[in-house]
Amino acid sequence: MRLTRTIVILAVFTLLLLVGCATPRAVRLASHGASPGASSPAAVPSGSAVPTSPSAASASAASPDYAPPEPASLEPASPGPSASGAGTSGVGLAEVGPFGAAPTDPAPTDPALADPALASFLAQLPRFAPPPPPRPVAVPVGPAVPIYTRLPVDQPVAFLTMDDGWTQLPEAIPLMRAAHIPFTMFLIAPVAAGSPAFFDQLRSAGGVVEDHTINHPELRGRAYASQRDEICGARDSLVRTFGTGPSLFRPPYGDYDSTTLRVAHDCGLRVAVDWSETVDSGTIRYQTNDHRIRPGDIILMHFRPAFVRDVIAALTAIHDAGLTPALLESYLS
């Protein structure tokens, strides 16, 4: 009997000792939201969330060997094709470039600014003083609009213009915001209508949208009605997309005739715009032997995969010439 009582006392003492050792560890783990054997996740910047799922949460409670998921990667997502439509870019992998996925809706911040590759490009942007108060060129009035290759200004300004709109790089938006310069976008109307959010963000960064036809055809030699469909149709589409109408027109390929200029006038546009220099793949292509941007020059570039390099090349050439980027529309009375 005495031996039995001793065995029972020892068993109870052993059980109490085991419970007392286990309880503090369970309390410590619960207070830190961790599971036994779990490793601490990598640090995530303030405002970022580590995604978990209901199944993961239940697994952590059920299994002492469960480790919580790693935090979401902070690197830009690999770009992929997206469906076109309002608020989306509708571009594919080959068009997006190296910095991230295509934008959808406007964001309050620019996540692309955290990308080291884009940051290195932003550091190359030249800085400009504000352009001088414009002394506009007097635009002649007649049955046809005038067309300008450059503006005959007497102020140290040049004009950056961008055509088409096909390739919509997400880094274009933080780039143009950081550049702090005005620019003009001659957009193909259906392209603009397919991605209004993208172009609205560029408008908020200093861009103005102008007419570049519906289908981007060669206009020279076409009948009046055919050219009217292209130019007036694009004007009407841009009004529906952005709520404001264009005042300038650029003929695709710089290809036009006298009918083109009459149609542009009859569609309510004021001026047709050609160009002085072009930029492609980060290289300025001069149209004169001067090889220097002159006051009043109109620089043409496109929405292409080399958009970032082209913007930097154009702005660097303007800066090296001692000029300031100005808004083309402001220098046409």
Domain borders along the chain are 147-331
The domain 147-331: what is its CATH number?
A: 3.20.20.370
Query: Which position has the token pair 């300004």?
Result: 157
Please count the other Cβ atoms lying within 10 Å of the Cβ belonging to residue 166: 16
Radius of gyration of the chain (CA): 31
pLDDT at 48 over 80: no
DSSP assigned state of 170 = T
State mean pLDDT over 224-248: 98
DSSP assigned state of 289 = T
Q: Give which of 257, 270, 273, 284 is closest to 212, Cα–Cα.
A: 273
Q: What's the rounded Cα separation, in Å, for the pair 78 and 96?
A: 10
> Mean of the per-residue pLDDT values for the chain?
75
Query: Which position has the token pair 């009407």?
Result: 236
pLDDT at 67 over 60: no
Coil, helix or strand for 116? helix
Specify the pTM.
Answer: 0.67
- In the prediction, which pLDDT does 111 show? 55
State mean pLDDT over 122-128: 93
- In the prediction, which pLDDT does 120 show? 84
Query: How does strand 183-187 pair with strand 271-273?
Result: unpaired
pLDDT at 26 over 60: no
DSSP assigned state of 297 = B
106-120 as b/e, with b when 16 or more CB fall inside 10 Å?
A: eeeebebeebeebee
Q: What are the C-alpha distances in Å from 33 to residues 21, 41, 47, 58?
A: 20, 12, 19, 13
Q: What are the C-alpha distances in Å from 196 to residues 13, 97, 99, 244?
A: 75, 20, 21, 13
Token pair belonging to 311: 């913007």
**pLDDT, tens digit, 9 for 90 and up, residues 150-195:** 999 999 999 999 999 999 999 999 999 999 999 999 999 999 999 9
**pLDDT, tens digit, 9 for 90 and up, residues 69-101:** 233 222 233 333 333 333 322 222 222 222 223
Query: Which position has the token pair 């009217």?
Result: 228
Q: What's the rounded Cα separation, in Å, for the pair 181 and 106?
A: 20
**pLDDT, tens digit, 9 for 90 and up, residues 275-325:** 999 999 999 999 888 899 999 999 999 999 999 999 999 999 999 999 999
Query: Which position has the token pair 């409670």?
Result: 61
**Confidence band, pLDDT 50/70/90 cuts, at residue 116:** confident
DSSP assigned state of 66 = -
Q: What's the rounded Cα separation, in Å, for the pair 98 and 308?
A: 11
